[in-house]
Structure 1
């Protein structure tokens, strides 16, 4: 297959799914990892795609663009792990915590597995599957109902009604975008409503968002920055953004760099 044909295939996949992973393209195109990365570099240089860690997403900032869970899981995985470890350290044994859907919240769920006597409420089937352990009698996992979204969240009226009668100590919320004026946003209207219900159910709102989410605006606002009690991000967020966030957010925590990031 010629380079032009490969690049057209990559563009079609990005347009269809919102993003692509290098590993999937290697398998689909039958070429090397390096070849795929060169093709993505070429397309990014032309402004046709946006190069991200492990793949590519649409170049535009359309408010309805929503890459699926598998695509987003390849984006900034080291930074998400750093954020997850820091956010999990805020959760005390014996407390109740809600976790939204999304890859960063899922990373937090991984770090929460050792915490004792947790009650977890989530609209993420992936989080529920990860944390549900029949051999443990010190943990309760509650999964809302609802309709699955592209980010693998359960959203809609069923989830909202369940959450209206729920009260937790802390919500760990992952977001599609965070912006000074638009606040926390998502491309999915149903998911926005369910995220608002999650926020209302929690006494404390902890938002987990890596640096690439800054300046991204989705179709619907979930909450303003002033509603955030704690924002956990990574060290690659620039200092101008940090100053702007500090003026509105209760507490900004920058996760320490991991050995993997500094090596």
Structure 2
């Protein structure tokens, strides 16, 4: 396959799924990782996609744009892993916890599959899949039900009603964006409703948000910054944003992904 043909095929895959990984493309097209990176660079220079660590995603058009789960999973992977590791330390055997939809919460799920006697409530299909694959008999996984979004979240009145009857020890909340004005936000109006229901059901709210979420504003606010009991982010956050969060959130935890 010639380079232009391969690049056209890569672009089709990005547009179909929202994101691609270098390693998967290299295997699919039987070429080296370096060849794929050159292809992605050529497409990025033409403004057809956005290069990220380990792959590429579509170019985001605005506050109502909702990337797919695959697209988000290739972004800030080291930061998300470090955030998830720190969050896992807040979970104890026997806890009743909730994990909202998101790639960082999916990272957290991977680190909780061996915690005994957990009850896990989630509106995320990928998060539920992690626990189902783990197959621990002493864990209970509750998938809310609802209508599926592009990011594999379940939303709508069914999900909100399911959450409304629950009482949870802690919620781990993934967000699309955060800012001083908008608080924590999402590009999906119905997902904001579900997230607010999760917040109300939990004794403690822990927000998981890498530094790129700062200054990003989705169309719908979830809750103000101060509603989080703990915010876990990474050290890519600039000093100005860090000070705003120190002033707004009871506990700010900054991890180093190195």
TM-score range, shorter chain: 0.7 to 0.9
User: Structure 2 matches for 1:144-159, cutoff 5 A?
Assistant: 144-159=144-159
- Which position in structure 2 is the counterpart of 1:189? 189
Distance in 2, matches of 1:23 and 1:31, equals 10
After superposing the two structures, state which structure 1 stretch, 153-162 or 48-57, moved more.
Answer: 48-57
- Which position in structure 2 is the counterpart of 1:123? 123
Distance apart, 1:164 and its partner CA: 0.9
User: Structure 2 matches for 1:1-263, cutoff 5 A?
Assistant: 3-4=3-4, 6-27=6-27, 31-132=31-132, 135-137=136-138, 139-257=139-257, 261=258
Distance in 1, matches of 2:196 and 2:2, equals 48
Distance apart, 1:134 and its partner CA: 5.4
Aligned residue for 1:205, secondary structure, equals strand
CA 1:256/1:231 → structure 2, altered by over 3 Å: closer, same or farther?
A: same
Distance in 2, matches of 1:242 and 1:130, equals 32
Q: When the two structures are superposed, what TM-score results if normalisation uses the length of structure 2?
A: 0.88
Distance in 2, matches of 1:8 and 1:116, equals 48
Is contact 1:21-1:71 (8 Å) kept?
A: no
After superposing the two structures, state which structure 1 stretch, 182-191 or 7-16, moved more.
Answer: 7-16
Distance in 2, matches of 1:244 and 1:5, equals 48
Is contact 2:19-2:70 (8 Å) kept?
A: no
Aligned residue for 1:98, secondary structure, equals strand
Is contact 1:206-1:228 (8 Å) kept?
A: yes
The Cα offsets for residues 207-258 of structure 1, whole Å up to 9 and x where unpaired, read as 111122222222221122121111111222222221122121221101243x
CA 1:182/1:48 → structure 2, altered by over 3 Å: closer, same or farther?
A: farther
Distance in 2, matches of 1:135 and 1:48, equals 43
Is contact 1:52-1:75 (8 Å) kept?
A: yes
Distance in 2, matches of 1:102 and 1:85, equals 15
Q: When the two structures are superposed, what TM-score results if normalisation uses the length of structure 1?
A: 0.86
Distance apart, 1:5 and its partner CA: 5.1
Aligned residue for 1:166, secondary structure, equals coil
Aligned residue for 1:222, secondary structure, equals strand
Distance apart, 1:24 and its partner CA: 4.2
Aligned residue for 1:51, secondary structure, equals strand
Distance apart, 1:11 and its partner CA: 4.5
Aligned residue for 1:173, secondary structure, equals strand
Equivalenced residues, count: 257
Is contact 2:44-2:51 (8 Å) kept?
A: yes
Distance in 2, matches of 1:166 and 1:153, equals 19
Unaligned runs of 5+ in 1: none
